[in-house]
Structure 1
Amino acid sequence: MINLLAAEFTRLRSRRIVIIWLIGLLVAVAGFQVLAGFVVRQPTASEIATARHQLQQAQADYTAHHDADVKQCEEDNPGQADACDYPPPTLNDYLRTPETFAATADAGLTVSTVFTALIFLVIGASMIGAEYGSGAIANWLSFIPDRNRVYVSKITVVALAAAVIGAAAAALTLTTTALLVKINSGTVDHVGDLAAAGARGLIVVVVATAGGFALALVSRHTIAALGVVVGYLVADFVLNIVMASLDAVQKIKPWLPDKNAQAVIEHGISYQDQVTRVTADGTTYDTVTRHLSFGHGLVYLLVVLAIAVAASLLVFRRRDIG
């Protein structure tokens, strides 16, 4: 089995499409870090000077009009005097505040996880799809007729590669973001929580990879996996429109793949539903906050993984390959 895994790894590494997609992933991670460099940057001397000038003008305006504004507000809103007063302006009101390490790194991890998942969905699909298209799979099975071993070796290699690259992308994101924050005199904190989020993101990456592999294997075409992704994006767009007018459709939110993937990465998420109520005064709309737990998302993804692997293995074992 080790020799078979080594052979599959060599085939994966030698495919030019894999190198191209990995370069794309590196560009995406690097592009985010360029943006991160701007948002964590400390205000320049020129920005501080401009903010101080704006503050002086605002303080003069506050001094000149505050009492009159409060008095007029109290006259217009009897019994709400506490809501009429407002504090004097401060420098922070006119000065850009650098983003924290936690917020920036969290966004970066989301970018690296999503891109890695999508890229390896395509790689997983193209690996087996290309073998069906070229007939290489038939030739391979003539040397190794045990289809179970062949299937396990192929999906294991591509899933391990996805996990390793995903971990490397997450580590690179955390490291470079921390470096940028340190250079700008910021504080690097919540590293443990962010590392855990990166690790949870690998679950999403592996499931997406296996899903792409399974779809291409069952359909014999790489394009089928891409078609499912595009189809889901279109369906999701339509569902969002329908949900805005039909409350009942909102019940499917906990069963959408993207919501469950997000729940796994973020260790649980909250989302909002709009509930329509008919009262004596007419129709009203209430916003209800609901929670999707990490456990729900994890079980959902594991079930998807199990179905994808079981179904594609069954097809692979029974299909005639000529």
Structure 2
Amino acid sequence: MMRLLRVELKRLLARGTVRWSALGLFVVVALLVAVASMQARPLPADEVAQIRASFEVQVEVWENEGDELVAQCQASEDADTSPGADYACDEMTGPVWEDWIGPEPTFATSGQEQAMALPLVGVAFALLVGVTFVAAEISTGSVGLWLTFEPRRSRVYWSKAAAAAVGVLPAVAATFLLGVAGIYAAYAVHGRAGDTDAQTWVALAQTGGRTLVAAALVALAGAGLGAILRHTAAALGALAVWFLVVEMLVVPGIDAELQRWLFGTNLTAWIFGGGEYWVTECKVTDQGQVCEYLPREISQTQGGLVLLAVVTVITLLAVALFRRRDVS
């Protein structure tokens, strides 16, 4: 089995689609780092000066007219006879420089959020590689030829699926590490690392580890879909319909609570150590129907179990069909 796995890994690395997909993965990561660099760059001095001038004008206006504006607000609130009227007049204060210049982006805030795109890009790459590696070989007849050398179909399938799962890990790991390092450097070079401590790096390391597990499982699922549908375009089309139509439109439209069991929702919950989805709850009050948009939490454990269950079902079906179907 190990010899078959080594052969399949060589075949995987020899595929042009896989190499180009890996290159595209690195390009996407480079773009994410470039975006982080642009966001981390301080505002030009002349632009800061313009903002400062406008701010000082408003400060002067507030010093001259602030008391009058608060009094007008209070008078309007007192004249409003509707129940619970509150114009928040006591919250009226003068201009604050931080509000005008905006919060300073740092790696501890904005940078970590940008780094969270890296796992999703890596998992998408793993899914594409898993699909194309198996589906392309079936559609071109390569598998039929290979079975004349190794007739035990189960071993052939598992070696291919395992090669997809193992083969994607170096690229996913490398791009995650390079992406995090690049985004951090983009902020640190401008003195905007922020409150980055050991806990921050531990959390990122844990996310990276879960990303590798997810990438391997998703590659297995992609290999299974490739074996079931037997054509790369068909498998990718089915995935597009599922994620863009079923998960984003159909299921939320039928019952928002069903989002708890969607693959994408649970995949992100596993990768990021938990997740959430949103539902609308309405109730009738004295003022009519009132609706609230409320979050629902999904644990990391549930996300991992659902991910594992989906991959297991797809893989078992793929093995059963691969063993019995004509592959020529």
Give the corresponding residue for 2:179: 173
Looking at structure 1, the residues matched to 325 and 74 of structure 2 have their Cα atoms a distance apart, in angstroms, of 80
Looking at structure 1, the residues matched to 251 and 67 of structure 2 have their Cα atoms a distance apart, in angstroms, of 47
Looking at structure 1, the residues matched to 87 and 114 of structure 2 have their Cα atoms a distance apart, in angstroms, of 45
Instruction: Kindly tell me the number of residue pairs found equivalent between the two proteins.
Output: 317
Distance 1:312 1:106, change over 3 A: farther
Query: Cα offset for 1:82?
Result: 6.3
Structure 2 stretches of 5 or more lacking a match?
A: 79-84
On the 8 A contact 1:159/1:206 being kept in 2, the answer is: yes
Does residue 207 (structure 1) correspond to residue 207 (structure 2)? The answer is no
Query: Cα offset for 1:42?
Result: 2.3
Give the corresponding residue for 2:82: none
Looking at structure 1, the residues matched to 258 and 43 of structure 2 have their Cα atoms a distance apart, in angstroms, of 45
3-state SS of the aligned residue for 2:98?
helix
Query: Cα offset for 1:262?
Result: 1.6
Does residue 93 (structure 1) correspond to residue 99 (structure 2)? The answer is yes
After superposition, residues 135-174 of structure 1 pair within 5 angstroms as: 135-174=141-180
On the 8 A contact 1:197/1:267 being kept in 2, the answer is: yes
Residue range with higher mean Cα deviation, 50-59 or 105-114: 105-114
On the 8 A contact 2:252/2:258 being kept in 1, the answer is: no
3-state SS of the aligned residue for 1:144?
coil
On the 8 A contact 2:12/2:164 being kept in 1, the answer is: yes
Does residue 226 (structure 1) correspond to residue 232 (structure 2)? The answer is no
On the 8 A contact 1:54/1:94 being kept in 2, the answer is: no
Query: Cα offset for 1:120?
Result: 2.5
Task: Decide which of 268, 272, 276 is 2:278's aligned counterpart.
Answer: 272
With structure 2 as the length reference, what TM-score do the two structures score? Answer: 0.89
3-state SS of the aligned residue for 1:42?
coil
On the 8 A contact 2:108/2:193 being kept in 1, the answer is: no
On the 8 A contact 2:251/2:258 being kept in 1, the answer is: no
Please give the per-residue CA displacement for 1:163-201, whole angstroms capped at 9, x wherever unaligned: 221111110111111111110101261122122122222
On the 8 A contact 2:130/2:219 being kept in 1, the answer is: yes
Identity of aligned residues (%): 26
Looking at structure 2, the residues matched to 62 and 209 of structure 1 have their Cα atoms a distance apart, in angstroms, of 61
Amino acid paired to 2:301: G
Does residue 129 (structure 1) correspond to residue 135 (structure 2)? The answer is yes
Looking at structure 2, the residues matched to 135 and 80 of structure 1 have their Cα atoms a distance apart, in angstroms, of 73
Looking at structure 2, the residues matched to 240 and 231 of structure 1 have their Cα atoms a distance apart, in angstroms, of 12
On the 8 A contact 2:268/2:275 being kept in 1, the answer is: yes
3-state SS of the aligned residue for 1:270?
strand
3-state SS of the aligned residue for 1:77?
helix
Looking at structure 2, the residues matched to 166 and 104 of structure 1 have their Cα atoms a distance apart, in angstroms, of 22
Distance 1:82 1:114, change over 3 A: closer
Give the corresponding residue for 2:246: 235
3-state SS of the aligned residue for 1:88?
coil
Query: Cα offset for 1:49?
Result: 1.6
On the 8 A contact 1:260/1:292 being kept in 2, the answer is: yes
Looking at structure 1, the residues matched to 318 and 86 of structure 2 have their Cα atoms a distance apart, in angstroms, of 67
Looking at structure 2, the residues matched to 273 and 238 of structure 1 have their Cα atoms a distance apart, in angstroms, of 14
Q: CA RMSD in A?
A: 2.1
With structure 1 as the length reference, what TM-score do the two structures score? Answer: 0.91
Distance 1:199 1:134, change over 3 A: same
Deviation beyond 6 Å, 4+ runs, structure 1: none
On the 8 A contact 2:129/2:168 being kept in 1, the answer is: no
Looking at structure 1, the residues matched to 287 and 49 of structure 2 have their Cα atoms a distance apart, in angstroms, of 54
